[in-house]
């Protein structure tokens, strides 16, 4: 089994770095991007299996970034991360092709579960 | 749904500004709106009904009037022609009757009984032969050349030998070329009304005259007989207006008529008054004698058919007009009622919508706040998870105290951030300890205006007119929030004015309330916006110049002081905000309660 590669896109440095650290500890190859623009730059050089994308970010928000990702690499599964007490943006992301959404703050297990499901789906599609 | 990034709002709003999700809702406004709608539809209904009734009935009435006029004219003419025909035919009959009587008399000259010196027996025979032709003959007389009646037969034997040479009819007959003469009715020697037919005949260059008298009663009966019983009153009249027939039994000379026909035309029809009754008279001058036949009929009788037709026409016109009016009235009433109900329902829906949008904006504010707090919470949860991971040997992470301290400080930072947000929210919701003093509203207004004149009013040509009330009592309140209320409304007034305009500030005191009215000559507020202007975040100022909180804050400050804000606006003309601040114990206790 290949190593699961995950990109965390969130402008909250503390949150992003902590999550990356925790995923790495669980043998997941995780990397962080501080903005949507940065994420797209990284995606040009590297491949990922799952991207966790925060909805509300300055400059380019999660929905906009999702559109670009789906144009650039449609096979990557995207999980929307929303701190907004509303499911609306999560649902909007799913309409645009996101795999699922997770509400902030969420326990790591929930995030890991969703990442795992997304990964399985991707592998099912490819293999 | 909009996303409220409340963090910048928290930074923007100084703590003393109380921004709540309330706005001043005046139920009287809703009633006023409904009343306005009802008034509008009532006016519409009146206009529609009047317009349609006039539009339908006016042409109808004009057309009816035209036809009525034509109809009346035609019927009047035909009544006249009818009467004229009666008069003409009766005239001809009478002419013929008189001609026959003349011929009867004339024939006596040629009868075998005739002699220039008639005996009484001969005269009696002559009278008998006359009576044979017509029983209207009363007597007969024969005159010698001197004018003395030398022969007479009839009921007045005393007339024999009477000298008639002085009588006008005798002289006229002799001097005129006509061989006969018919006199008017006169009393004569016998002192009873009669008329005479006289003929002359020349024997041996000497003129002899034969004369017969006709009974006016018989003539009257004849005239009645030919009147055809058409409610036409026929009579004969001479040039002087004297009747030439008498009613039977009236022995005196007949009276003078009330109508004398013109001698200039042979016949005609005219109207005249008799005993306050309009009469139609047709006249025809006789050929044989200067009498006119008058056929008289009351106008009411002559035009009875027309009057009846006119009555039917008028009644049916009124009935049809009433029917059409009633139809129009009920149809329009029904339609306008339906439209009014729909408009009222629309107004209610609009108010419900405004209420719903107010609730939605509270929800949006809450959602925005929740988002802001969720971010640090997510950091705290993730970081505490990392520390747990560090302490788990399975993950082989650096679990030195330094590393754990570092993660704990991340948690502290995030927790502080969340605390900051809730602190600011508390500040928004709860005032800091207020310093309530007696505020002179006029002074506060002056301060605010002079401050605004330095910055906000400067780029425009705004004239500020103040009408401060002299007897204004002080208001127990914090001066700064009150200044804020006035400033927010004045800034809005200035923003509403494009370049040049006037802001009028009036203060007055009545009913235990200070009224401050700020009126501008700006662009006004569209009615659809009027119910939303007190909602937080509602703004029409583009380019990020407005937060949509100014009026919301002003409304909550005023409400807090126990007052209310009323708005009047005419789009294109200007807006007027009236701030009502009560001077009552309730306001003071509210303030004191808040102090505690």
Q: For B429-472, write each residue's pLDDT tens digit.
A: 554 455 678 888 999 999 899 888 887 788 888 899 999 988 88
CB B299 within 8 A of CB B278: yes
Quote the pLDDT of residue A13.
87
Q: Name the strand (E) or helix (H) holding B293.
A: strand B291-298
ipTM of the complex: 0.81
A64 touches chain B (CB under 8 A): no
Mean pLDDT of B138-144: 90
Nearest residue to A84 via CA among B20, B537, B378, B360: B378
A106 touches chain B (CB under 8 A): yes
* Beta-carbon pairs below 8 A across chains A and B: 69
Question: pLDDT class for B505, splitting at 50, 70, 90?
Answer: very high
Using a pLDDT cut of 70, give the percent of chain B over it. Answer: 84
Q: Which residues contact A115 (CB under 8 A, 6 or more apart)?
A: A4, A6, A28, A50, A52, A79
Quote the pLDDT of residue B451.
84
A107 touches chain B (CB under 8 A): yes
Per-residue pLDDT for B275 more than 50? Answer: yes
DSSP code, position B394: G
Distance from the Cα of B7 to chain A's closest Cα (Å) equals 13
CB B29 within 8 A of CB B37: no
Cα torsion angle, B330, B334, B339, B345, sign: positive
Contact between B378 and A12 using a beta-carbon 8 Å cutoff: yes
Quote the pLDDT of residue B477.
82
Mean pLDDT of B17-46: 65
Model pLDDT for residues A76-89, shown as the tens digit of each residue: 999 998 866 556 77
DSSP code, position B426: H
Question: pLDDT class for B534, splitting at 50, 70, 90?
Answer: confident
| Neighboring chain A residues of B383 at a CB cutoff of 8 Å | 14, 18
Per-residue pLDDT for B582 more than 60? Answer: yes
Per-residue pLDDT for B113 more than 60? Answer: yes
Quote the pLDDT of residue B3.
30
| Neighboring chain B residues of A83 at a CB cutoff of 8 Å | 371, 374-375, 378
| Neighboring chain B residues of A12 at a CB cutoff of 8 Å | 375, 378-379
Q: Name the strand (E) or helix (H) holding B564.
A: strand B564-570
Per-residue pLDDT for A7 more than 90? Answer: yes
For residues B112 and B128, what is the distance between their CA atoms, to the nearest angstrom?
14
Q: Tell which A residues from 85 to 104 touch B, by Cβ distance under 8 Å.
A: 85-86, 88, 103-104
Distance from the Cα of B383 to chain A's closest Cα (Å) equals 6
CB B566 within 8 A of CB B26: yes
Return the CATH architecture of domain B26-364: 2-Layer Sandwich (3.30)
Question: pLDDT class for B212, splitting at 50, 70, 90?
Answer: very high
A84 vs B371, B379, B385: nearest CB: B371
Quote the pLDDT of residue B24.
40
Model pLDDT for residues B302-338, shown as the tens digit of each residue: 777 777 888 888 898 889 889 988 999 999 999 999 9
Model pLDDT for residues B349-386, shown as the tens digit of each residue: 877 776 666 566 566 566 666 767 888 888 899 999 99
A84 touches chain B (CB under 8 A): yes
Contact between A83 and B374 using a beta-carbon 8 Å cutoff: yes
A46 touches chain B (CB under 8 A): no
Model pLDDT for residues A16-45, shown as the tens digit of each residue: 999 999 999 888 999 999 999 999 999 999
Contact between B385 and A56 using a beta-carbon 8 Å cutoff: no
Per-residue pLDDT for B521 more than 50? Answer: yes
**CATH code matching the domain that covers A5-58+66-106, chosen among 3.40.50.2300, 3.20.20.70, 3.30.70.20, 3.40.50.1980:** 3.40.50.2300
Using a pLDDT cut of 90, give the percent of chain B over it. Answer: 14
Question: pLDDT class for A9, splitting at 50, 70, 90?
Answer: very high
Q: Where are the domains of chain A?
A: 5-58+66-106
DSSP assignments along A25-68, one per residue: HTT-EEEEESSHHHHHHHHHH---SEEEEES--SSS-HHHHHHH
Question: pLDDT class for B588, splitting at 50, 70, 90?
Answer: low
Contact between A25 and B414 using a beta-carbon 8 Å cutoff: no
Per-residue pLDDT for A102 more than 70? Answer: yes
Contact between B371 and A56 using a beta-carbon 8 Å cutoff: yes
| Neighboring chain A residues of B410 at a CB cutoff of 8 Å | 14, 18
Q: Where are the domains of chain B?
A: 26-364, 437-595
Return the CATH architecture of domain B437-595: 2-Layer Sandwich (3.30)
Question: pLDDT class for B249, splitting at 50, 70, 90?
Answer: very low
Interface with chain A: mutation pick from B362, B365, B375, B376, highest number of A CBs within 10 Å: B375
Interface with chain A: mutation pick from B5, B8, B379, B387, highest number of A CBs within 10 Å: B379
Per-residue pLDDT for B64 more than 60? Answer: yes
Quote the pLDDT of residue B426.
64
Question: pLDDT class for B31, splitting at 50, 70, 90?
Answer: confident
| Neighboring chain B residues of A15 at a CB cutoff of 8 Å | 375, 378-379, 382
Question: pLDDT class for B178, splitting at 50, 70, 90?
Answer: confident
B397 touches chain A (CB under 8 A): yes
Contact between B382 and A104 using a beta-carbon 8 Å cutoff: no
Site of tokens 């036809």:
B67
């Amino acid at each position: 089994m290949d190593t699961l590669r995950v990109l965390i896109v969130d402008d909250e440095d503390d949150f992003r770095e902590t999550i990356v650290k925790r995923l790495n500890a669980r043998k997941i190859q995780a990397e962080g991007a501080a903005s949507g623009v940065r994420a797209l730059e990284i995606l040009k050089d590297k491949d990922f299996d799952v991207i966790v994308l925060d909805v509300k970010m300055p400059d380019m928000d999660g929905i906009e970034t999702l559109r670009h990702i789906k144009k650039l690499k449609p096979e990557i599964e995207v999980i929307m991360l929303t701190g907004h007490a509303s499911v609306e943006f999560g649902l909007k992301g799913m309409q645009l092709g996101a795999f699922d959404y997770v509400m902030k703050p969420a326990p790591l297990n929930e995030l890991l579960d969703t990442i795992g499901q997304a990964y399985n789906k991707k592998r099912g599609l490819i293999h | 749904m909009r996303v409220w990034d409340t963090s910048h709002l928290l930074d923007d709003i100084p703590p003393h500004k109380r921004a709540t999700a309330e706005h001043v809702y005046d139920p009287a406004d809703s009633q006023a709106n409904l009343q306005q709608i009802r008034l509008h539809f009532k006016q519409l209904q009146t206009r529609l009904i009047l317009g349609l009734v006039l539009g339908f009935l006016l042409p109808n009435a004009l057309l009816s009037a035209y036809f009525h006029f034509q109809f009346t004219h035609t019927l009047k003419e035909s009544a006249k022609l009818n009467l004229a025909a009666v008069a003409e035919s009766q005239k001809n009959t009478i002419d013929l009757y008189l001609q026959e009587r003349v011929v009867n008399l004339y024939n006596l000259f040629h009868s075998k009984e005739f002699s220039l010196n008639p005996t009484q027996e001969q005269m009696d025979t002559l009278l008998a032969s006359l009576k044979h032709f017509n029983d209207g003959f009363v007597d007969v007389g024969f005159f010698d050349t001197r004018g003395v009646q030398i022969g007479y037969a009839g009921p007045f034997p005393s007339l024999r030998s009477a000298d008639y040479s002085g009588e006008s009819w005798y002289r006229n007959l002799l001097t005129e070329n006509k061989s006969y003469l018919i006199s008017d009715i006169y009393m004569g020697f016998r002192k009873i009304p009669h008329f005479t037919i006289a003929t002359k005949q020349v024997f041996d260059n000497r003129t002899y005259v034969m004369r017969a008298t006709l009974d006016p009663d018989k003539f009257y009966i004849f005239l009645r007989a030919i009147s055809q019983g058409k409610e036409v009153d026929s009579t004969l009249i001479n040039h002087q207006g004297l009747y030439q027939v008498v009613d039977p039994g009236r022995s005196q000379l007949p009276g003078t008529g009330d109508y004398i026909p013109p001698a200039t035309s042979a016949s005609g029809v005219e109207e005249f008054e008799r005993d306050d009754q309009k009469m139609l008279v047709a006249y025809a001058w006789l050929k044989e004698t200067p009498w006119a036949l008058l056929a008289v009929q009351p106008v009411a009788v002559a035009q009875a058919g027309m009057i009846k037709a006119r009555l039917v026409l008028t009644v049916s016109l009124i009935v049809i007009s009433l029917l059409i009016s009633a139809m129009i009235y009920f149809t329009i009433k029904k339609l306008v009622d339906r439209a009014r109900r729909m408009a009222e329902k629309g107004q209610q829906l609009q108010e419900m919508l405004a209420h719903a949008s107010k609730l939605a904006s509270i929800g949006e504010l809450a959602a925005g706040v929740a988002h802001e707090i969720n971010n640090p919470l997510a950091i705290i949860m993730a970081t505490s998870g990392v520390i747990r991971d560090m302490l788990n040997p399975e993950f082989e992470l650096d679990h030195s105290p330094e590393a754990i301290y570092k993660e704990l400080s991340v948690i502290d930072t995030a927790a502080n951030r969340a605390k900051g947000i809730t602190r600011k929210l508390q500040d928004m919701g709860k005032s800091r300890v207020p310093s309530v003093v007696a505020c002179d509203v006029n002074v506060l207004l002056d301060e605010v205006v002079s401050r605004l004149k330095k910055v906000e009013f400067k780029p425009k040509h705004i004239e500020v007119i103040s009408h401060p009330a002299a007897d204004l009592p002080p208001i127990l309140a914090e001066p700064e929030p009150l200044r804020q209320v006035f400033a927010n409304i004045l800034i809005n007034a200035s923003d509403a004015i494009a370049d040049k305009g006037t802001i009028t500030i009036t203060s007055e005191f009545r009913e235990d309330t200070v009224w401050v009215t700020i009126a501008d000559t700006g662009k006004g507020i569209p009615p659809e916006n009027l119910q939303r202007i007190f909602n937080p975040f509602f703004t029409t100022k583009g380019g990020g110049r407005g937060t949509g909180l100014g009026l919301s804050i002003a409304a909550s400050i005023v409400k807090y002081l126990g007052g209310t804000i009323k708005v009047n606006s005419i789009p294109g003309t200007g807006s007027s905000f009236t701030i009502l601040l009560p001077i009552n114990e309730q306001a003071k206790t509210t303030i004191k309660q808040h102090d505690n």
